[in-house]
Amino acid sequence: MATLNLPLQTNDLSPSLLPLLQALQTTSSTDRLAILLFLLSTFGYLTRGRVWAKPDPNYDVYFQRPQEGPNCTTSKASATRNIAKRLADGGYDAVIFWGSQSGTSERFAEALGRECGTRFGVHALVADLSDFDAESIAEISKDKFAVFILSTYGEGDPSDNTAGLWDWIKKVKENSSAVRELRYLAFGLGNSNYKYYNRVLDVVADAFDASGATALIPRQKADDANGGTEEDFQSWKDDVFALFRGMGYEEKSIKYQPSIKIEFGEGQEAKHTLPVHHQHSATCSTIVPLPIKNARELFTAGDRNCVHLELDLGHSDIGYKTGDHVGIWPSNPDQEVTRLLEALGLQHRRHEAFTVTPLDDSTKPKIPSPTSLDTAFRHHLEICAPVSRKALLDIAQFAPTPEAKALLLSYGQSREQYERLTATMHITLARLLQLAGPSTTWTTLPLSFLFETLQPLQPRYYSISSSSVISPRRIGITALVVNKCIPGTSPSTIHGLTSNYLLSSTRLPSNALPSTHTPSYTHTNLNDATTDGTKILAHVRKSKFKLPITSSTPLILIAAGTGLAPFRAFLTERAKLHSIGKPVGKMLLFFGCRHPSSDYIYESELAKLQSALGDKLEIITAFSREEGKKRMYVQDRVGQESSRVVEMLDQGASLYVCGKAGMAREVDVKIEEAVGAGKGLGEKEVKAWTDGLKKRGKWRADVWG
């Protein structure tokens, strides 16, 4: 290699570089080249921004929207996370916060916000709690007030979007004057079948009251145990409006004012897009279309079917852990979509594209744009839910005939008549319109009103029945398909929306009774031509319903019906560990269903697991409708074995309950009674004992209403 001879000038260089230059004189040509390259790189790094690559003073302009430039007068209030500043900048009188897991609280908040404005001129901002920093609630001035509509689900848990408020409330409790300027109203949504009925409302309101806030009216609670949520909300809202009258707000006659604009137009192409209101978060994955694999029927008994299916995660970015939940996004059945379009007189515009434009910055569209009526009613809006009594009164103003208006008002103004109607007929929006105006179409009913009033279609959650250790790319689902028949002069059926959608998606033949046939659905593959079967939209939600880290920890598993689903995953995972020589703790499984020969799901699988695990697994069954025998429920079996259950818990076992909330509550009672009797403890001591287990994660429940 040729020798490198370069004239080295050292006068202008840093003294710290001289040793390197001297080394160049005594090293080989290869080493000299390496050292020279190092010097050049060092020189370039030290002079960047001064000699070369000087920063452009206008660089940030490239990343600004035109409407956010320095000369723009548009308010930036919408970008702030400080609710007090947002209210002041927007000239709002109040904020209506919602904390919702299923969308009901959000719907109530939006309805209340509209009526505050139209009836009393109260300018209220309807706000997702996660959109603002909870700490800024304390800064809301005395001349404004805050409304909290909060849902409780599971074991007294807050909704996902309430996490920030929940964390802040812990700090509020520690400061007796943290919110002394705050004036507030609070309404909670819950179910009294659950042990921690409306806990979120109570925790938040108690903290506010103890820290100096002023409750303008007493907190109120909705109870969904008997379907009374809508009526409870109406009752609370009446009290809120009475408060407004007392505060000097003048009540106006209600005249519908749309908050969105609907425009049909040529050149627009309607597309089936993902739900616009789903938010990817730390607990929920993105929504993805997943193909159905390995579908089979577990049992059929009259009007009840139970199916097992698996969702293939394939190469998607989402995964799951044993014990997680899967959210299934259903679509509405063909018959109900067609019935609604016919009632509205809009069959001819079924596939025309239109756009939805909000008329104020507090309105969030529930459907994407552009879209079509078929897509909106099929994939984005709840059109199969029963219509509330309040909705009857609202719809009456658009009635096409005096007779239709009179009929709607008669049902809407009388709770007794409304309850008689709903006891004999499943009143969806389409059926209501056909009942009130059987010989005419509702062309006078604005689409904007429908899109504002109807609730967004929400996912339904299922406990995953597969193990992520055994089947990491397959999600198992166990779905009970129930179709409730309502007796009357014209019997009607309430079809479980998502369960029937899943049954239809599996392409299994329906073995239900003729009177409860499976509705038909139009399935879409979201323009994916590569699919080899039906795909459904789904996402994964993280759960705390997890196996102990140590496989030798004993387990007590209590389930009824499809509550067995997560325990199927637990047991298969433990059986795998046992097969490879890992230590596995004792497992006591309580399982209840109606009849051993008709709805004992996964019976053969459980037999194989028991054979593989030997004395590590003990199964105790309860059958409530076995011929010739006394009715026995799973909580009764737990009561019979309660002393053994308590002993296992004292020895470090973990207890899990999955099924209906009423069953879980009775299981709690049986165990608490055994603890009190066996240990000689009072009610407070027993509660402290059970609460201690739950706080340590040794007692977990995955229940539903």
Lowest mean pLDDT among 173-177, 488-492, 550-554: 488-492
- The last residue of one of the domains, among 420, 438, 455, is 455
**Which residue in 331, 391, 395 sits closest to 108, CA to CA?**
391
What is the rounded CA–CA span in Å between residue 330 and residue 244?
A: 40
Same structural domain, 119 and 223? yes
Q: Within a domain: residue 262?
A: no
Listed in sequence order, the residues at least 6 apart from 237 whose beta carbon sits closer than 8 Å to its beta carbon are 112, 115
| Phi, psi of 617, rounded to the nearest 5 degrees | -125, 130
- Which is it for the CA torsion 540, 544, 545, 546, positive or negative? positive
pLDDT in tens, 405-428: 999 999 998 888 998 898 888 899
Q: Picking from 206-220, 446-460, 512-526, 544-558, which range would have the lowest pLDDT averaged per residue?
A: 512-526
Phi and psi, residue 297, nearest 5°: -90, 130
Cα 593 from chain centroid (whole Å): 28
Query: Which pLDDT value is given to residue 99?
Result: 95
pLDDT given for residue 139 in this prediction: 96
Whether the pLDDT of residue 515 is over 60: the answer is no
Most confident of 148-157, 453-462, 466-475: 466-475
CATH number of the domain that residue 312 is part of: 2.40.30.10
pLDDT value at residue 339? 96
Q: At residue 88, does pLDDT exceed 60?
A: yes
Q: Work out the mean pLDDT of the chain and round it to a whole number.
A: 86
Q: How far apart are CA 276 and CA 568, in angstroms?
A: 34
- Output the pLDDT for position 43: 67
Closest CA to 650 of 547, 549, 548, 556: 556
Q: What single-letter DSSP state applies at residue 586?
A: -
CA gap 480, 202 in Å, rounded:
34
Evaluate whether residue 638 is within a structural domain: yes
* Among candidate residues 263, 275, 270, the one with its CA nearest the CA of residue 355: 263
| ∠ CA 189-192-198, rounded to 5° | 40
Residue 627: the pLDDT is: 86
- Residue 41 located in a structural domain: yes
Q: At CA 527, angle to CA 526 and CA 530, rounded to 5?
A: 105
Q: Are residues 396 and 504 in the same domain?
A: no
Question: What confidence score (pLDDT) does residue 635 get?
Answer: 97
Mark whether 570 and 507 lie in a shared domain: no
pLDDT at 63: 34
pLDDT of residue 403: 95
Instruction: Please return the burial class of 213, using the count of CB atoms within 10 Å of its CB with bins 0-12, 13-18 and 19+.
Output: buried
Amino acid at 326: V
Q: Is 268 among the domain residues?
A: no
- CATH number of the CATH domain containing 672: 3.40.50.80
- pLDDT category, 467, cuts 50, 70, 90? very high
* One-letter identity of residue 47: T
The SS3 of residue 404 is: helix
Alpha-carbon gap, residue 333 to 347, rounded angstroms: 16
Confidence of residue 180 (pLDDT cuts 50, 70, 90): very high
Band (396; pLDDT cuts 50, 70, 90)? very high
Which of helix, strand or coil describes residue 344? Answer: helix
Q: What is the total count of domains within the chain?
A: 5
Question: What is the rounded CA–CA span in Å between residue 295 and residue 673?
Answer: 42
- Mean pLDDT check: name the lowest of 5-14, 207-216, 392-401, 666-675: 5-14
Give per-residue pLDDT as tens, 306-339: 999 999 999 999 999 999 999 999 999 999 999 9
**Per-residue model confidence (pLDDT) at position 303:** 73
Q: Are strands 304-312 and 474-486 parallel, antiparallel or unpaired?
A: antiparallel
Q: Per-residue pLDDT averaged across 664-690, rounded?
A: 94
More confident position, 284 or 36 = 284
Residue 157: predicted pLDDT: 85
Q: What is the pLDDT of residue 13?
A: 44
Tell me, yes or no, whether 539 and 563 share the same domain: no
Cα–Cα–Cα angle for 226, 232, 234, rounded to 5 degrees? 135
**CA–CA dist 521, 478 (Å, integer):** 20
Omega cis (within 30) before 368: no
Same-domain status, 377 and 340: yes
**Which one of 11, 41, 65 terminates a domain?**
65
The secondary structure element, H or E, covering residue 621 is strand 617-623
Per-residue pLDDT tens digits for 188-228:
999 988 888 999 999 999 999 999 999 999 999 999 887 78
Q: What is the pLDDT of residue 491?
A: 55
pLDDT at 14: 46
33 occurs within a structural domain = yes
Of the pLDDT bands very low, low, confident and very high (cuts 50, 70, 90), residue 66 is very low
The domain of 408 spans 332-455
Nearest-angstrom CA–CA distance, 450 and 396: 13
Q: Is the pLDDT at 67 greater than 80, yes or no?
A: no
The pLDDT of residue 272 is 66
Q: Would residue 436 count as lying in a domain?
A: yes
Backbone φ and ψ of 405, nearest 5°: -65, -45
Has residue 71 been placed in a domain? no
Nearest to 288 by CA among 540, 9, 664: 540
Question: Does position 553 have pLDDT exceeding 80, yes or no?
Answer: yes
Instruction: List the structure tokens of 173.
Output: 């409790």
The answer on pLDDT for 695 being more than 50 is yes
Task: Report how far residue 384's alpha carbon sits from residue 458's, in angstroms, rounded to the nearest whole number.
Answer: 12
Question: Same domain, yes or no, for 482 and 587?
Answer: no
Helix (H, G, I), strand (E, B) or coil at 597: coil
Please indicate, yes or no, whether residues 423 and 562 belong to a single structural domain of this protein: no
User: 114 by DSSP, 3-state: which?
Assistant: helix
Same domain, 594 and 651: yes
Dihedral sign, Cα of residue 223, residue 227, residue 229, residue 234: negative
Beta bridge partners of 657: 558, 701
Distance, CA of 588 to CA of 604 (rounded, Å): 18
CA-CA-CA-CA torsion sign (222, 225, 230, 234): negative
Please count the CA atoms within 13 angstroms of the CA of 285 that sit on its side-chain side.
Answer: 22
Which CATH number belongs to the domain containing residue 414 in this structure? 1.20.990.10
Please enumerate in sequence order all residues whose Cβ is within 8 A of that of 473, keeping only pairs 6 or more positions apart, or say none: 312, 313, 314
pTM over 0.85: no
Residues 294 and 377 in one domain: no
Predicted confidence (pLDDT) at residue 304 exceeds the cutoff of 70: yes
Say if residue 432's pLDDT is above 60. yes
Q: Where are the alpha helices (DSSP H) in 247-370?
A: 334-344
Please give the span between the terminal C-alpha atoms of the chain, in angstroms, as a whole number. Answer: 83
- Residue 184 within a domain: yes
Q: Could you give the strand order of the β-sheet that contains 353-358, starting from the edge strand earlier in sequence? A: 260-264, 353-358, 371-372
- Asked if residue 429 has pLDDT above 70, the reply is yes
CB-based contact 225:191 (threshold 8 Å): yes
Q: Chain-centre distance of CA 454, in angstroms?
A: 17
Query: Are residues 223 and 94 located together in one domain of the fold?
Result: yes
> Are both 100 and 237 inside the same structural domain?
yes
Burial class (CB in 10 A: 0-12, 13-18, 19+), 663: buried
Residue 9 pLDDT exceeds 70: no
**What number of residues does the chain have?**
705
d(CA 478, CA 329): 16
Indicate whether 405 and 503 sit together in one domain. no
Q: Residue 253 to residues 110, 118, 120, 519, 680: CA-CA distances in angstroms?
A: 19, 8, 9, 42, 63
Sign of CA dihedral 102, 104, 107, 109: negative
Q: Express each pLDDT in 577-608 by its tens digit.
A: 999 999 999 999 999 999 998 899 999 999 99
Residue 169, pLDDT score: 94
Q: Which among 543, 563, 584 is the end of a domain? A: 543
